[in-house]
């Protein structure tokens, strides 16, 4: 089985990713598709849509649904890209809870940044047509 299921879908997502980087002002980022070891077989213990590391300029996004391996909607992929960019724009907060330090990755300023990113992509003329419904 080939590692790339639909080359046209992956090329379109790569093009949309570069456009999203331009719109959001995040230059130099690299897109990597999430590759699963065994596709569509067995139980799904870990269900990730995407991830990123704060020290690196790399975003990994799952382009296919986990069980049936159909291409994911472009709306969902663009929202995951906005989510991962928000991690770089509003980094995690560290606060003290009793005697422990707790790292909070999804804090209220993070979600405000995510909504700003989605709104910027919806307003864009080339990326806005991929969003199915306007967000509140």
**Residue 47: alpha-carbon gap to chain centroid:** 13
User: Can you give the residue range of the structural domain that contains 40?
Assistant: 7-130
Domain membership flag for residue 39? yes
Domain membership flag for residue 1? no
Domain membership flag for residue 135? no
Question: Could you report the per-residue pLDDT of 97-134, keeping only the tens digit for each?
Answer: 999 999 999 999 999 999 999 999 999 999 999 997 65
Domain membership flag for residue 84? yes
Q: Distance between CA atoms of 103 and 54, rounded to whole angstroms?
A: 14
Domain membership flag for residue 136? no
Q: What is the DSSP letter of 67?
A: T
Domain membership flag for residue 43? yes
The more confident residue out of 68 and 110 is 110
Residue 15's CATH number: 3.30.2010
Number of domains composing the chain: 1
Domain membership flag for residue 2? no
Domain membership flag for residue 90? yes
Query: Average pLDDT of the chain?
Result: 87
Collapsed DSSP state (helix, strand, coil) of residue 80: helix
- What's 27-57 look like in SS3? CCCEEEECCCCCCCCCCCCCCCCEEECCCCC
User: Based on the number of CB atoms within 10 Å of its own CB, is 2 exposed (0-12), middle (13-18) or buried (19 or more)?
Assistant: exposed
pLDDT, position 38: 63
The predicted model scores a pTM of 0.86
User: Based on the number of CB atoms within 10 Å of its own CB, is 108 exposed (0-12), middle (13-18) or buried (19 or more)?
Assistant: exposed
């Amino acid at each position: 089985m080939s590692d790339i299921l639909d080359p046209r879908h992956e090329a379109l997502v790569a093009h949309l990713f570069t456009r999203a980087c331009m719109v959001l002002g995040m230059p130099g980022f690299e897109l990597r598709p999430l590759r699963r070891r065994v596709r569509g077989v067995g139980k799904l213990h870990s269900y990730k849509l995407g991830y990123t590391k704060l020290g690196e300029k790399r975003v990994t996004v799952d382009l296919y649904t986990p069980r049936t391996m159909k291409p994911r909607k472009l709306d969902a992929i663009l929202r995951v890209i906005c989510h991962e960019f928000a991690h770089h724009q509003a980094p995690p907060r560290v606060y003290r809870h009793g005697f422990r330090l707790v790292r909070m990755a999804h804090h209220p300023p993070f979600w405000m940044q995510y909504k700003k990113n989605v709104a910027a992509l919806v307003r864009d003329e080339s990326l806005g047509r991929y969003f199915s419904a306007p967000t509140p």
